[in-house]
A and B are shown apart, each in its own frame.
Chain A
Amino acid sequence: MHLAVSLNIASGQPLAFSELASFAKQAEVVGLDVIILDDTVPDSGGSESPFEATTLLAALATVTSRIGLVAAASTVAHQPYNLARRFASLDIISHGRAGWHATMAQAPREAANFSRPEGFSADDFRRRVEEYIGIVQGLWQGWDADALLFDKVGGHFHDPSKMHLLDHKGEFFSVRGPLNVARSPQDTPVLVMSRVSERVFDLAARSADVVLLDEAEDAKTRHDDLKRRVAACGRKPDAVKVLVNVSGARSDIDPGRLEELCRSKSCDGFNMAMSPSAFGGFVEGVLPELRRRGLVHQGYPGTTLRAHLGLAGGDQ
């Protein structure tokens, strides 16, 4: 099974970069697939975050070499062209280990800080997110993997027929493209979706690489429903990985429960939300037990995040 650790960097005292770097290195040593960096928006509690997630991801990429790095970035805070560019760049900086965590729910106070005091209606937000994701994924495919020629003598830097305009004109955005960042070693950054309600299951089935679902009684039903829709889009059911969110705040992850969800094929793995301080307890207390039960792999099968997750793309 796949293991992600989701880090809410805004909880508790603001962490120093060195503490976050140690955490990332430790997560890599024990072979987790991916670190997911949350990005908070101001709430009434006024919690402080030490860093913005995409900049933190870039910095962490330089102190790690294998583990996947996913950052949250809001569709309200960024224009789609800018977001696509940031992540395409992060994917090259990390040698194909980056992903974008897109949340399908509107953060309550966010729009008011981005010149949209009225926010978006739920319906508008959903249609806008759908259009947005289509643009980002389209931009990520603007350059073919063999587009760069580097022919100094002939004077051909790239092959213009392998660079593609997007020419998107939609309800909320119009974006001509192409992106001015090359194709990454894993083809495109991994798209992780969270807060996926039934209403956006079809969008997730069509576009996501990873879907984060909350732990619930009906986990199996929802997993099967999503995978059925993935197949209905003409994708292999395995092309989307379902990770169930588990809280590791009190180091109380129950290996038996994880095994049960895994063996009943209710998910492809887990996303453990925890603070860096709780992570040590997980590594010493829970991970050896998961290994003993044969549930987690040792070491990385490849070099890219797509390779770790068993997703197609790149040179694996």
Chain B
Amino acid sequence: MTRQMKLGAFLWATGHHIAAWRHPKAHVAAGIDIDHYIQLARTAEAAKFDMIFCEDAAGLREADVGIASQTSRSIGFEPISLLSALAVPTSRIGLVSTASTSYNEPYGLARTFLSLDRLSGGRAGWNLVTSASPIEAANFGATGLKPHADRYERAREFAEVVRGLWQGGSFQGHDGQSFSVRDPLDLPRSPQGAPVMVQAGASDVGRDLAARTADVVFTAAQTLEEAKAFYDDLKGRMAAYGREPNDIKIMPGVSPVVAETEAEAREKHEELQALIPDDVGVALLSSYLSISDLHRYPIDGPMPELPETEGMKSRQALVVEQSRRDGLSIRQLARHFAGARGHWRVVGTPAQIADELQARFEGGGADGFNVMPSYFPGELDAFATLVVPELQRRGLFRREYEGSTLREHLGLKRPA
């Protein structure tokens, strides 16, 4: 059989577009409506997505309360409870949640994800993040963000303990730099051997950690060249850890805007862009760049030089490169990023979007994609009913699930 792409349905608030909630067709009360999420999960499962993907932050997204109140991201479900609820009305689709290594302990996290895995019959995954937001840090007694390297060293130890705990009774205890754990978990083994490990950090230490421990890597790439460079680099690092390239599925984020005709798709995209208030766009861009004073620069002027940060190094480099390449002003860049949050955006007909995905997939830039619909439920429905059938027609995506666990969907080995 020809190689087929993996697809994640990335569910977030009212949609991935920052102004999604203002769209007339967006479900504005998504963050308090469990039935809405059950419907989204059923849509994604009917379309044979590999997984639902939820990101997470233990705190507000925006430092400025006025900015926060113009977005829908200040309230929502905590993802582990959300996915545990979604495990019941679904039967095949994978359930992946983000959780931080900075604000959890490995024993509790391993136990909670294993429970989700057992509730869902082997469909759970954990997306490891180290948390780069000072807003989150302030909810956990920390006075500032720990240095990037320290966060990753803690994450490395954390992942090692979690993996050991998921191996069951053979766990011998752990006494390390950041954590000590005495007992094995009191839950039976996972139906899929162990929950799937997902990771998103794209910095040098982030890539090494992924090469060592991840099953799936979620990434941001604007062009095929960027995607391919990342893909080759990460897969090249795996041999050092005794792993084969196929042991990791690399799934860049893609933010599609799809309609029957190209003109309709462009109109839909413009409609969303016009809903972004300037102050919100600039604030969002600032937080992605981990800088606080972007609003002091002229909005129609160029991006200023940026200092080295302890925040998201890889994302910052991406943004700076794009602003230089395309000669974008702060306002233009803010709108551009507010829309897709630094991820790859494709606007067009089902065939055009399938062409783009196919080119990345066959061009060596991706094993699949994490689909980030602009607003819910409409844009997930549109991808599921327009793009997925086109991908299936081309033999690029499954028509039926091959197995029952997330590892089986992703074609991953069952861990020993």
Contacts and interface: CB of A to CB of B under 8 A. Distances in A.
Interface of A: 10, 14, 17, 21, 40-42, 46-52, 54-59, 61-63, 77-79, 81-82, 85-86, 88-90, 92-93, 95, 109, 112-117, 143, 148, 150, 152-153, 155-160, 163, 173-178, 180-182
B74 A50 contact: no
Contacts of A160: 65-66, 68-69
Nearest to B67: A160
Given A50-B118, A160-B69, 17 more contacts: A50-B188, A51-B119, A55-B112, A55-B115, A55-B119, A57-B81, A58-B82, A85-B78, A86-B78, A92-B77, A109-B183, A114-B108, A157-B70, A175-B138, A176-B138, A178-B60, A180-B59
A86 B139 CA distance: 14
A218 to B, nearest CB: 35
Interface stretch (B20-28, B351-359, B366-374): B20-28
Contacts of A58: 81-82, 84-85
A173 B139 CA distance: 9
Interface string B173-193: 000001111111111100000
Contact of B182 (A109, A157, A163): A109
Contacts of B183: 42, 109, 112-113
A145 to B, nearest CB: 12
Contact of A158 (B22, B75, B103, B135): B75
Contact of A52 (B74, B85, B111, B178): B111
B57 interface: yes
24 contacts: A42-B183, A42-B185, A42-B186, A54-B112, A55-B112, A58-B85, A61-B85, A81-B58, A81-B59, A85-B58, A85-B78, A93-B77, A93-B82, A93-B85, A148-B75, A156-B69, A157-B28, A158-B69, A174-B138, A175-B141, A180-B76, A181-B76, A181-B77, A182-B31
Nearest to A165: B65
B71 interface: yes
A61 B83 CA distance: 12
A63 B84 CA distance: 12
A42 B187 CA distance: 10
A57 B87 CA distance: 12
Given A59-B85, A152-B21, A163 B74 contact: yes
A21 B88 CA distance: 10
A173 B103 CA distance: 13
Interface range on chain B (Cβ under 8 Å from partner): 35 or more
A48 B186 contact: yes
Contacts of A59: 84-85, 87-88, 119
Contacts of A93: 34, 77, 81-82, 85
A77 B107 contact: yes
A175 B140 contact: yes
Interface string B14-56: 0000000111100011011010001000000000000000000
B80 interface: yes
Contacts of A152: 21-24, 28
A174 B115 CA distance: 29
A54 B77 CA distance: 14
B69 A63 contact: no
A158 B14 CA distance: 14
Contact of A143 (B28, B75, B139, B187): B75
B199 interface: no
**Chain B interface helix/strand/loop/mixed:** loop
B270 to A, nearest CB: 17
B115 A51 contact: yes
Nearest to B276: A155
Contact of B118 (A51, A81, A175, A182): A51
A150 B24 CA distance: 12
A21 B105 CA distance: 29
Contacts of B76: 180-181
A174 B74 CA distance: 20
Nearest to B78: A89
B245 interface: no
A47 to B, nearest CB: 7
Given A42-B186, A62-B89, A114-B105, A181 B75 contact: yes
A297 B85 CA distance: 29
Contacts of B411: none
B81 A55 contact: yes
Contact of A86 (B28, B81, B140, B277): B81
Contacts of B184: 42
Contacts of B234: none
A182 B32 contact: yes
B198 interface: no
A93 B82 CA distance: 7
A119 to B, nearest CB: 11
Interface in B83-116: 84-85, 87-89, 103-105, 107-108, 111-112, 114-116
Contacts of A159: 69
A86 B186 contact: no
Contacts of B70: 155-157
A114 B107 CA distance: 7
B80 A86 contact: yes
Residue in B31, B68, B69 with the greatest tally of chain A CB atoms within 10 Å: B69
Q: Which 9 A-B pairs have the closest CB atoms?
A: A58-B84, A52-B115, A89-B78, A176-B138, A55-B84, A112-B182, A42-B183, A160-B69, A182-B75
B127 interface: no
Contacts of B29: 148, 150
B72 interface: yes
A275 to B, nearest CB: 17
Nearest to A177: B139
Contacts of A86: 78, 80-81
A115 B21 contact: no
B203 to A, nearest CB: 25
Contact of B180 (A14, A85, A115, A181): A115
Contacts of A117: 180, 182
A55 B57 contact: no
Contacts of A47: 186
